[in-house]
Homo-oligomer: A and B are copies of this chain.
Amino acid sequence: MNWKKTVRVELGDRSYDILIGPGLIARAGREIAGRLKGRRMAVITDEHVGARYLDPLTASLAAEGIAVFPLTLTPGEKTKSFDPLIRVCDHILEAKIERNDAVIALGGGVIGDLTGFAAGIVRRGTRFIQIPTSLLAQVDSSVGGKTGINSRHGKNLIGVFHQPDLVLADTDVLDTLSPREFRAGYAEVAKYGLIDKPDFFVWLEQNWRDVFHQGGAARIEAIATSCQAKADVVAQDERENGLRALLNLGHTFGHALEAATEYDSSRLVHGEGVSIGMVLAHQFSARMNLASPDVARRVEAHLREVGLPVSMAEIPGTLPPAEILLEAITQDKKVKGGKLTFILTRGLGESFVADDVPASEVLSFLREKLGA
């Protein structure tokens, strides 16, 4: 297949294209050479992704006369920390990447967040290209310019906003994801419907099997719609002063559950936390009489149907008590001045930012849900 979709992220002089379709890694050289003048590129990847895609990417770039300087890191969340960041910065400087050249992130969210951060701080900003290789990265972390690493005080606490110059979302690479990994990314796809696109959510209810099916047009459609949805929000609120907070639907509960399971991916991965978190946000909205309980039931039914966890009871092992979960929520970085901010909903695809949620209500809701 030779067709692809293009989503434009409109950010003035920082605008860029997201190309979505099959075979994009093999065509990366042509797509990049047609847009950027530089002929030196540092490619940052991890051992898993690099073993599969570094050679074809390098060949594609070399065919356009682009010199490639690869650096392969250890896979996993621990790579989002200062030591690997320093290594990547040093690598970019050693490769003498100048202003028209670029740094390419080839991998999932960890590689994208880390590499984008390094590109954002070397020479106070170096050109940056994302080649996301997980569904989660394609529909979420590679769009919008959030980059960063973790600190011992929490996840993503150190970073910058640094927009990429180009995103190449090769849909072929998704065929090699495990079903669990694909599903986790799908939670973020469904999220865009639940934020403000009820028609998209209805379409997903009807077409999700085609989205999960290899090489299908529905998959490209779902990714493009997700990227467009995120691009629209980011274009209106690049630095998360307001509207962009909507993208955190399901994430406040989700992050607390990730922290409660100590980021142990055998128990819970990010997208699963978001799935449970979205169901909880809808249930909490019903409890606060903001939306009908039918909406929460419908969301829960769809996410369960695709195979995602929808309740805290499905998380293996013991969860901490409600008080500890609430503490994790209040330590989340979206807290302002001590008040609790949640994304709640008034109906299907009618999410909004509620920034004055009483902690006591959250606590009793969590107690109820934990069966305590």
Contacts and interface: CB of A to CB of B under 8 A. Distances in A.
Question: How many copies of this chain does one complex carry?
Answer: 2
A239 B121 contact: no
Contacts of A151: 89-90, 93
A128 to B, nearest CB: 14
A320 interface: no
Contact of A158 (B99, B122, B152, B239): B122
A122 B157 CA distance: 6
B93 A124 contact: no
A94 B153 contact: yes
B99 A157 contact: no
Contacts of A86: 82
Contact of A337 (B100, B125, B148, B335): B100
A121 B123 contact: no
Nearest to A149: B121
B160 A93 contact: no
Contacts of A154: 93
A120 interface: yes
A337 B100 CA distance: 8
Interface in A117-144: 117, 120-125
Interface in A58-108: 82, 86, 89-90, 93-94, 98-100
19 contacts: A90-B151, A90-B153, A93-B151, A93-B154, A93-B157, A94-B153, A98-B337, A99-B336, A100-B336, A120-B160, A121-B121, A121-B159, A122-B158, A123-B157, A123-B333, A124-B160, A124-B239, A125-B239, A160-B160
Nearest first, the 4 closest Cβ-Cβ pairs linking A and B are A93-B153, A124-B159, A121-B158, A82-B86
Given A125-B161, A125-B239, 5 more contacts: A90-B152, A93-B154, A100-B336, A120-B160, A122-B157
Interface of A: 82, 86, 89-90, 93-94, 98-100, 117, 120-125, 146, 148, 151-154, 157-161, 239, 333, 335-337
